[in-house]
Amino acid sequence: MEDLIGHPHFQTQKAKTWDNVQERAAALLPDDLMAALDGYYAPLETLLTLVRFPNMVSDSFGRSFRGLIQEAKPGWSVAATR
| pLDDT recorded at residue 30 | 94
Q: pLDDT (tens digit, 9 = 90+) per residue, 33-49?
A: 999 988 888 888 877 77
Q: Please state the pTM of the whole predicted model.
A: 0.52
Question: What residue ranges of the chain have pLDDT lower than 50?
Answer: 1
Q: What is the biggest distance separating any 2 CA atoms in the chain, rounded to whole angstroms?
A: 44
**How far are the Cα atoms of 44, 56, 57 from residue 39, in angstroms, in the given order?**
9, 23, 22
**Alpha-carbon gap, residue 82 to 74, rounded angstroms:** 20
| pLDDT recorded at residue 6 | 66
Q: Residue 12: how many CB atoms within 10 A of its CB?
A: 8
| pLDDT recorded at residue 29 | 92
The domain locations on the chain are 10-72
